[in-house]
């Protein structure tokens, strides 16, 4: 079967797409990846399938001249999508979100190619709501999202990279190996701080303010902080000033290794992060990005929080002292942390990639 997979813009759209593309290829299907020249996928070409093409699609948001130029870009990218479909002649087109989705979805509908959508968030974006009218099915990462798509909705969970699942299965042996490679202690608690594929400047600054208050825990605590490219300034110094062992990265490509060694986490609430962290059952403080469209990051973890599977706070609610209290609970209150971990694991879908692939190939 010949299948186009498309997605990107952020890691939250790209990595689920790549997980499915890899599995389809392993099963012998012919896969073409389509991305945007303006998304994260254009900077991570080494991660993409061997057959990949890019179109010049951008978002349409903006005002005045920007809206006009982006609308022109959309028209152009739709014609490019027609060309890609005509050349590859796919049996299916599967969209995972990002700038590329709308033009490719419209072109697929007009060309009569079966269209499948994968919606990662608990609240669907406008693009998927529009394209769902033409889609055969919509594969949703959250059960509650099904209500937006009616009979076309199929709950699959969000696709997980095979390395993520393999890391979980690697157990204690792999955990010790990663700790040794990072020169970290097996005897200390490890706090993972991560802001998504592009980092989170607010979380970085918040942790700088919290760092001085970590002094009482310096003999029991170590921190791994993924700050985002160009956003790590002053972090390492802040931790080391109080004697807390730390490893600070702009980007860590094998993030599943960090999930494996984390005893607790601070994270934004993108759909991919929530799905992967839930799989590992890491007691986590989720701090949703406040400017996410329709507040979808908050909604991604609202149900999990209400079930006792995480701690959820809006960033304006968090003082350094409040963050410290939460981190102390997640790291050192063994009973509470275990309760949170077990509740979180109930939300995980370990076979989500296989579920998505089965729906695509109609097995």
Name the one residue in this structure whose structure tokens are 């890491």.
282
Which pLDDT score, from 0 to 100, does residue 8 have? 86
pLDDT > 50? residue 67 = no
- Based on the number of CB atoms within 10 Å of its own CB, is 212 exposed (0-12), middle (13-18) or buried (19 or more)? middle
Lowest mean pLDDT among 35-44, 184-193, 237-246: 35-44
Across the chain, mean pLDDT equals: 92
pLDDT digits (tens, 9 = 90+) for 326-348: 999 999 999 999 999 999 999 99
Spatial contact of 228 and 195, defined as CB atoms under 8 Å apart: yes
Residues in the chain: 363
Dist CA 129 CA 265 (whole Å): 33
Residue 165 tokens, joined = 């699942």
Which pLDDT score, from 0 to 100, does residue 198 have? 62
Dist CA 356 CA 7 (whole Å): 15
With the CA atoms of 142, 143, 149 and 152 taken in that order, what torsion angle do they form, in degrees rounded to the nearest 10?
Answer: 110
Confidence of residue 275 (pLDDT cuts 50, 70, 90): very high
The predicted model gives 60-64 an average pLDDT of 46
Confidence of residue 197 (pLDDT cuts 50, 70, 90): low
Confidence of residue 199 (pLDDT cuts 50, 70, 90): low
The predicted model gives 181-189 an average pLDDT of 97
The residue ranking higher by pLDDT, 81 or 170, is 81
pLDDT > 70? residue 59 = no
Confidence of residue 69 (pLDDT cuts 50, 70, 90): very low
Q: What domains are defined for the chain?
A: 2-159 (3.40.50.2000), 162-345 (3.40.50.2000)
Dist CA 135 CA 348 (whole Å): 26
Lowest mean pLDDT among 47-51, 153-157, 315-319: 47-51
Q: Can you name the residues that pair with 140 across neighbouring β-strands?
A: 119, 155
Report the percentage of the chain scoring pLDDT > 90.
80
pLDDT digits (tens, 9 = 90+) for 76-117: 889 999 999 999 999 999 999 988 999 999 999 999 999 999
Report the percentage of the chain scoring pLDDT > 70.
94
How many CB atoms lie under 10 A from the CB of residue 132?
A: 21
Which pLDDT score, from 0 to 100, does residue 64 have? 41
């Amino acid at each position: 079967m010949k299948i186009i997979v498309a997605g990107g813009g952020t890691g939250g759209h790209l990595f689920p797409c790549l997980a499915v593309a890899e599995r389809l290829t392993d099963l012998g299907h012919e896969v073409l990846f389509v991305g945007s020249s303006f998304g994260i996928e254009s900077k991570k070409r080494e991660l993409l399938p061997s057959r990949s093409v890019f179109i010049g699609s951008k978002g349409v948001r903006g005002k005045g001249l920007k809206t006009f130029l982006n609308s022109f870009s959309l028209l152009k990218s739709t014609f490019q999508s027609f060309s890609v479909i005509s050349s590859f002649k796919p049996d299916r087109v599967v969209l995972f979100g990002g700038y590329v989705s709308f033009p490719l979805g419209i072109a697929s509908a007009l060309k009569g190619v079966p269209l499948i959508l994968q919606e990662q968030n608990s609240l669907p974006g406008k693009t998927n709501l529009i394209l769902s009218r033409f889609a055969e099915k919509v594969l949703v990462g959250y059960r509650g999202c099904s209500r937006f798509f009616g009979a076309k909705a199929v709950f699959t969970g969000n696709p997980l990279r095979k390395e993520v699942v393999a890391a979980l299965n690697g157990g204690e042996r792999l955990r010790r190996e990663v700790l040794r490679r990072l020169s970290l202690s097996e005897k200390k608690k490890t706090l993972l701080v991560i802001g998504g594929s592009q980092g989170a400047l607010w979380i970085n600054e918040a942790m700088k303010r919290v760092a001085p208050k970590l002094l009482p825990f310096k003999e029991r605590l170590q921190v791994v902080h993924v700050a985002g490219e160009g956003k790590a300034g002053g972090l390492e110094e802040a931790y080391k000033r109080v004697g807390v062992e730390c490893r600070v990265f702009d980007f860590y490509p094998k993030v599943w290794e960090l999930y494996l060694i984390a005893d607790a986490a601070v994270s934004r609430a993108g759909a991919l992060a929530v799905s992967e962290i839930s799989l590992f059952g890491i007691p986590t403080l989720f701090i949703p990005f406040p400017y996410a469209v329709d507040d979808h990051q908050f909604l991604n973890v609202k149900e999990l929080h209400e079930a006792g599977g995480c701690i959820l706070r809006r960033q304006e609610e968090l003082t350094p002292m409040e963050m410290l209290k939460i981190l102390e609970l997640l790291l050192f209150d063994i009973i509470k942390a275990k309760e949170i971990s077990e509740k979180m694991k109930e939300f995980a879908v370990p076979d989500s990639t296989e579920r998505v692939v089965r729906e695509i190939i109609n097995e």
